[in-house]
Amino acid sequence: SQTIHQWPATLVQPVGSPLSLECTVEGTSNPNLYWYRQAAGRGLQLLFYSVGIGQISSEVPQNLSASRPQDRQFILSSKKLLLSDSGFYLCAWSVGVGPYNEQFFGPGTRLTVL
Amino acid sequence: AQSVTQPDIHITVSEGASLELRCNYSYGATPYLFWYVQSPGQGLQLLLKYFSGDTLVQGIKGFEAEFKRSQSSFNLRKPSVHWSDAAEYFCAVGLPGTYKYIFGTGTRLKVLA
């Protein structure tokens, strides 16, 4: 069966520090991978998605970047965190062309920037 | 622009009462429609989805949703709510021809014993 992992589960970082959040998927090949940020009362904001190794689409200009070094690994990074980067970060995967398949979500990472 | 609106930020119902959560979307054609549920501090779980065909779709945990093209709506319903249904519910649309999904802002459900 398929499984999606995210770590760390929680993270407290000072402003200006770097960030690396990792997401890995097991049990499927060639998944579409997604990073979302969830802020209170604002729903899920799509940050990045990837349909293949090295292919990254950015949805929102921001202080973050994403990389996909392996088929089932998706990394969210920042060189210098801002206070506004605080939030709940969710990784998700789906398969197939077009969004008619459901997304499967990881457990999320709670990031607090102080 | 494409958008998903969930007009109710919070809803409180008594256990055993019926529930309807509203979702309206803005898109030029019929998108792919989803409802997800999120327990506190957790990821999202799919409740049900609609692509075509019968406009009333059944999901897990006793939920159903009805697609109404004329109203651009996809409301979620449950005839009798259980205390374990307390969670946040998200409506989402998948945009045909893309890999992208748009989520609503969510409705937080509180269930009174």
- Asked if A104 and A96 count as a contact pair (C-beta separation under 8 A), the reply is no
For residue A44, the chain B residues in CB contact (below 8 A) are 44, 90, 92, 103
Reference B93, options A108, A32, A102; nearest CA is A102
DSSP B35-92: EEEE-TTS-EEEEEEE-SS-SEEE-GGG-EEEEEGGGTEEEEEESS--GGG-EEEEEE
B102 in A contact zone (CB under 8 Å): yes
Tens-place pLDDT, residues B16-68: 999 999 999 998 777 899 999 998 888 899 999 998 888 999 999 999 999 99
- Asked if A105 and A6 count as a contact pair (C-beta separation under 8 A), the reply is no
Reference B20, options B85, B65, B68, B50; nearest CA is B65
A100 contacts B44? CB cut-off 8 A? no
Tens-place pLDDT, residues A7-55: 999 999 999 999 999 999 999 989 999 999 998 777 899 999 999 999 9
Comparing alpha-carbon positions, the chain A residue that sits nearest to B34 is A102
Give the number of A-B residue pairs with CB atoms closer than 8 Å: 70
B59 in A contact zone (CB under 8 Å): no
- Asked if A95 and A29 count as a contact pair (C-beta separation under 8 A), the reply is no
Distance between CA B109 and CA A96 in Å, rounded? Answer: 32
B2 in A contact zone (CB under 8 Å): no
Tens-place pLDDT, residues B59-89: 999 999 999 999 999 999 999 999 999 999 9
